[in-house]
Amino acid sequence: MDTTLPPPIPSNINNFTLAGVIDAEYHIAMNAMGAVSVLLSLHLMYLIKFKTPLASRQYRIGLIVLQLCFLLFDIHWCFLFVPLLTLPYFAMYCTGLLCTTFKVGIHLHMVFMLLLAIETFAWFFICMLQRHQALLPMSSHCLCSPNIFRFFVQDAIEHYTFQALATLSTLFAMIGPVMFISCRLTEQEIQWRLAESPLMRWLLKKPQYLIYSIPMRPILQIVLALLMISVVLFTVACASLMAHTIHIVRRLKLKSGKSKDQSNTAMRNLFIQFLVFACSLLFPAFVFLLRIWVVFDVEIAFVSCQILFASHSLASSLVALLINSNYRRSLVFWKKSKEIKQASTRKITTTTVLTVTSLRSLVAR
């Protein structure tokens, strides 16, 4: 077997942002954030199940599945996987339980996380599509269209347009992670990569390290492009749904404006939650990709982006809890019930003290 090393691949980057010196602190931060996010997701699933009586059963199931995707991500990323990226060469290692104890390959973790992230985007779109379709039956009360036939044909065309966007996005989402399986380097290629940059050799001491390379695997560029296209398609589809929903709500003339406001508010809240989710993923991804071509050795900024990427489910769940009136009302009711309980306890205590004082005065007489 020819073991001759190939010539070094030209690169304008000669060092790493991370050198593996913050493993313990990063691991503790991931565990703490994952615990908070898991508890918040479970609480939201309870609120969706029991505190949203006006929502349809199908819509509630969609929201619960969405929170379940967040829950799986938190458990896997923050407890079982706990990866640390060390760009510019897409090098990484993990310190989680599955890597250190059960020796599960990090490449399998990455494929699973890509599938889960794209699936979360898909369920956001499904939930928004359900809210959009829930408004279409109300269009039978619409009086602003002079041609009812044209009105229903237009709704049908828009419905199939959104379904086509969903199908296309799902197709790209499935192809990307499947092609990502072929991006793994062989052991000999990893040794070549380590020989090219001796500063990378500290990775040999880390559990389940892995290195990716665009020059050695040009298909990696296609995979990243497909993943970004699927994310952009989902984002465009969700934004189009939101814009069309606003258009439907404005042209409806219902006897009661309450249903109109509730439907519009539910769609708006879900879209805001989606924006927080997308930004929490896309901004760190942009920084990770930018690090390939631009040299900036700000370790805190790079680690902060990784933490932001890992906290997207926590941020999305927290926003959903704060902007949804039903969820806020449940917290207010819980706070008021606690205050009422404390007030009643104080009242009972005061009554008991007064009774004892009265009995003592009677005995003294």
Mean pLDDT in the chain? Answer: 75
Question: Is 173 or 125 the better-scoring residue by pLDDT?
Answer: 125
Please state, as a whole number, how many other Cβ atoms lie within 10 Å of the Cβ of residue 313: 28
As a dihedral over the C-alpha atoms of residue 170, residue 173, residue 174, residue 180, rounded to 10 degrees, the angle is 170
**Ordered DSSP codes for 55-77:** S-HHHHHHHHHHHHHHHHHHHII
Give the Cα-Cα-Cα angle 119, 120, 126 (nearest 5 degrees). 85
Q: Does a structural domain hold residue 365?
A: no
For the domain that residue 244 is a member of, what is the CATH number? 1.20.1070.10
How many domains does one find in the chain? 1
In the predicted model, is pLDDT for residue 35 greater than 90?
Answer: yes
Between CA 346 and CA 352 the distance in angstroms is 10
**β-sheet bridge partners, residue 84:** 93
Between CA 77 and CA 113 the distance in angstroms is 8
Confidence category of residue 71, pLDDT binned at 50, 70, 90: very high
The confidence score (pLDDT) of residue 345 equals 58
Render pLDDT for 313-334 as a digit per residue (tens, 0 to 9): 999 999 988 888 767 666 554 4
Between CA 212 and CA 362 the distance in angstroms is 88
Q: Does a structural domain hold residue 9?
A: no
**Ordered DSSP codes for 155-174:** HHHHHHHHHHHHHHHHHHHH
pTM of the entire predicted model: 0.77
Between CA 120 and CA 355 the distance in angstroms is 61
Q: Does a structural domain hold residue 217?
A: yes
Render pLDDT for 16-30 as a digit per residue (tens, 0 to 9): 445 445 678 888 889
Give the Cα-Cα-Cα angle 119, 122, 128 (nearest 5 degrees). 145
Look at residues 174, 82, 70 and name the one whose alpha carbon lies nearest to residue 123: 70
Range of the domain at 308: 23-323
Helix (H, G, I), strand (E, B) or coil at 94: strand
Q: Please report the beta strands in the chain, taking only residues with DSSP state E, as ranges in sequence order.
A: 83-86, 91-94
Q: Does a structural domain hold residue 202?
A: yes
Q: Does a structural domain hold residue 109?
A: yes
Render pLDDT for 162-217 as a digit per residue (tens, 0 to 9): 677 667 766 766 787 888 888 888 888 888 887 877 777 777 878 788 888 877 88
In the predicted model, is pLDDT for residue 72 greater than 60?
Answer: yes
Q: Does a structural domain hold residue 343?
A: no
The confidence score (pLDDT) of residue 12 equals 37
Q: Does a structural domain hold residue 332?
A: no
Q: Are 59 and 131 in contact (CB under 8 A)?
A: yes
Which tokens in the block code for residue 278? 């997308």
Q: For 112, list phi and psi in degrees, rounded to 5.
A: -65, -40
Q: Does a structural domain hold residue 18?
A: no
